[in-house]
């Protein structure tokens, strides 16, 4: 998908719910660490629980569209304080881009829109978690100015 095509970011609507479920379930494999190899169906079930958790909180859904086709989304929690300091933050619960639309600016545009919303709401930080194995996502976040604050350490037994 060429970069030159017009990309719009809009607020999510009720009719986007099926898209969120579908794209999330299709992309959740990127969230599975090589260290904790697990069946895809387990990760998909956990994604469904995450979506239910997000929907029960104060949140924002952003949807990216090109030529009236949905190509990505971002779920932003806007009232979930940092678990260590208690400071307010925006927290990106999940972001997904259609495989055919990756590397075309969709993820970066979703991030910029989420950050603008967080700033407007007076949230001083934006946070998220990303799997170490997901190099493409980590590179996107680094280009957007995100740095590692904490690490989850794991050891197979």
Portion of the chain with pLDDT greater than 90, in percent: 89
> Does the pTM exceed 0.75?
yes
How far is Cα 22 from Cα 29, in angstroms, rounded to an integer? 13
Residue with tokens 């086709």, as numbered in its chain: 69
Q: Considering the domain 7-143 in this protein, what is its CATH number?
A: 3.40.630.30
- The pLDDT score that the predictor gives to residue 21 is 96
- The pLDDT score that the predictor gives to residue 81 is 96
- The pLDDT score that the predictor gives to residue 4 is 53
- The pLDDT score that the predictor gives to residue 107 is 97
- In the sheet where 59-66 sits, what is the strand order? 7-11, 59-66, 69-77, 90-97, 126-128
65-105: pLDDT as tens digits: 999 999 999 999 999 999 999 999 999 999 999 999 999 99
Portion of the chain with pLDDT greater than 70, in percent: 97
The domain locations on the chain are 7-143
How far is Cα 4 from Cα 2, in angstroms, rounded to an integer? 5
Number of neighbouring beta carbons within 10 Å of residue 59:
17
Number of neighbouring beta carbons within 10 Å of residue 43:
17
Instruction: Please indicate whether residue 31 or residue 124 has the higher confidence score (pLDDT).
Output: 124
Reply yes or no on whether the pLDDT at 64 is more than 90: yes
- The pLDDT score that the predictor gives to residue 37 is 83
- Mean pLDDT over residues 131-145, rounded? 94
First to last CA, the chain: 43
């Amino acid at each position: 998908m060429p970069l030159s095509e017009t990309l719009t970011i809009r607020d999510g609507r009720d009719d986007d719910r099926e898209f969120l479920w579908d794209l999330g379930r299709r992309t959740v494999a990127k969230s599975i660490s090589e260290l904790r190899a697990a069946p895809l169906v387990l990760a998909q079930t956990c994604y469904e629980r995450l979506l239910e958790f997000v929907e029960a909180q104060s949140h924002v859904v952003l949807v990216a569209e090109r030529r009236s086709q949905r190509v990505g989304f971002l779920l932003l929690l806007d009232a979930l304080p940092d678990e260590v300091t208690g400071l307010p933050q925006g927290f990106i619960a999940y972001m997904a881009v259609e495989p055919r639309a990756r590397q075309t600016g969709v993820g970066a545009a979703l991030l910029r829109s989420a950050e603008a919303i967080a700033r407007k709401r007076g949230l001083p930080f934006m946070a998220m978690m990303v799997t170490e194995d997901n190099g493409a996502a980590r590179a996107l976040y680094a280009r957007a100015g995100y740095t590692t604050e904490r690490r989850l350490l794991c050891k197979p037994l």
